[in-house]
Structure 1
Amino acid sequence: MSTLSGLLRLGSGAKRKRVASVRLVRALGLSLGFLYALPQVHQIAVLGGARGLTAIVVFVLFTLLYFGLGLYRDAWQRARPVLRWTLYGAFVVLCAAAPFVFGPGMDGTPVYAGVISALLLSGRPAIAAVCLAAAGAAAVAIRDGADTDTVLIFAGTTFGLGVLLLNYRHSRELVGQLRAARAEVAVLAAAEERLRIARDLHDLLGHSLSLIVLKSELAGRLADRDPAAAVREIRDVNAVARESLRDVRETVTGYRKRTLAEELDSARGVLTAAGVEPVLRTSGTPLPEPADALFAWAVRECVTNVVRHARATRCEITVSATRLEVADDGRASAPVVAGNGLDGLRERAAELGGTVETSVRRPGGFVVRVGL
């Protein structure tokens, strides 16, 4: 639990650092933009009287809203709709009305309306707000008697800054989505690796432990009447146990590859040791590696089930280029509920576009067919 808490604290600490870094970059950008508003303070101051004082109050309020909305955009998005749109609306109204109420000293405010709109809004509303801010800047320039070029410069600057910030935000969102996707891929990869290990261990250990049990029982029966044979069986148990340990290590590290030919040889020995007559039929050219690996796993799983559950006397394994069939004459006479082994085999086959079919033979027995 302490380890988990530590990991959570590390994750939250990294997130806080990332948020602080983003906020610092945003503060620098907002501060650079605000430099162009500072000359307006002198022009406001010359107004004098109540009108000048009101203009200063409006400018202070404009500054607070500009930095507050720009720096704490995430908090603004989480706020209640009434508060959110009240703050944004107040800023836009200030920017739109100030040039017409207080004169040329506040001519630059429509540009800031476009900037904040680009930072806060998304999609079509953001584009519409930026366009309206550009139109407002053009209207202020026309009121001041500017020529056409100046009007276009005012409108173009406002629109350009807005679009630039929209593109910046879009790129940041894409980076965030990419990070989230990479994290999700890592989680899925870890889950897939755990599933692979669990599936491989089931197939490996089920087969190996069944063989160990068989040979151990046989050694126990031979101990009194044929000690030398019992010793040979114990040696086989030792060899199988060592091979199982090696297979488990290779499975965990992902390096284990067992060929169909090896599994067929192993199946012959396991079935014989269990008192089941093995009948192997192979045809066709050597299989591609994915198909060979699938059929190898299928042989291992099916033979393990025959030895553990079927109580059969005969097992037939037929292999062709696109099909594997394992049939026994055991006790199965009704539909069999698939276990983890067959489910894992179906998953392996599905990854290659193949199928796994099972059926019951009459009067008794079970058949597994793997097709590609």
Structure 2
Amino acid sequence: MQPRIPRPTVIAAIIVGMTVVTLAGLLLPALWYEIVHRRDAGRLLLALTGVGAVFVLYARLLWQNLMRRTAPAHRLGLAAIVAICWALPPLLGTGQGWGNALLVPAGLIAVVLPVREAVGVTAAATVSTPVYGVVLGFPALMVLYEVAAVPLTSFSGYVTVWLVHVVQELREARAEMARSAVGEERLRFARDLHDVLGHSLQAVALRAEVAERFVERDDGRVRKELTEIQTMARDAVRDVREVVRGYRATSLRTELDGMSAVLRAAGIRCERPEVSPALPAHVHEPLGWVAREAATNVLRHSSATWCEITVRADRDRVAIEIVNDGAARRAAGDAGSGLAGLAERLAAAGGEFAAGAAGDGTFRVAAAVPAKGDA
């Protein structure tokens, strides 16, 4: 099963939360040592103020950039974090873990700065941070660790933001593809309807103009033109019915082909089931409408990643079941007028219809019609 992609705000909140936990792993051990062992009020106040400011600034800058709310002032925030983190070790001592504070700003370099600028700043930080550690008297192993950790931490921040933005763009592309698929279907119907009605209505208008010219001069000619108008109008109605029948009374196989193609174009995994060619003719129209309405609901009312279609036929009835995930966005009890219309169609055909959200986040549409037309 493909994982459901959360909304951008949810992804950003998760990443910020995980980052805060990572910062806690770097800074809280040293802060805990100040609280439990040293118990110096001045040092403790300085440590709490510095660590708290780093946490708040870091989380805010990361959230803003994950949500694409970049601003020039973010550079000042990054500079403030650098100043605090580089000031903590000499003020509070290089032991007990305060040296980890030097690594904290690296995670925001590629988040706040453009890529080209971030590369240069990362290179400078990779050199300056170990040198500063040597000046402060860090052990050689700690200095080597900083040489490797600074570029890796910077690259990790870049990849994190890049992946979040890619997910947002994929969601937008998926929504656009769904809108395009629906729009193309509407254009196709409009084009067919125009081709059928355009000529007929134009001819009716011309015949009416002719009848108007002879209305006071030649009653026979007027009657002839009115007869032609009636004939053309009936032909136009018949043509429209043929167009509509092409959309409504098509085969179930064709409907399922179109449904699966539209959903796949929208990025939703959907396989067309095998449909028996021996299905009774009367089942195609009602079940075809079920397939169309279900596809519309999946595109408009869900954040689905997959849709499963099942068609079953036996001696008594022909049934279709359509299940998709991502049903959490649908309000509880919101069946929609389209589904209510389907229930009426199936009832008129002597069939059964049910639709609703399940407790596992899926939405199920099920319909069945009698296998015999006179049932």
**TM-score with structure 2 setting the length:** 0.49
- Structure showing greater Rg: 1
Which structure is higher in RCO with an 8 Å CA cutoff and minimum separation 6?
2
| Larger helix share, 1 or 2 | 1
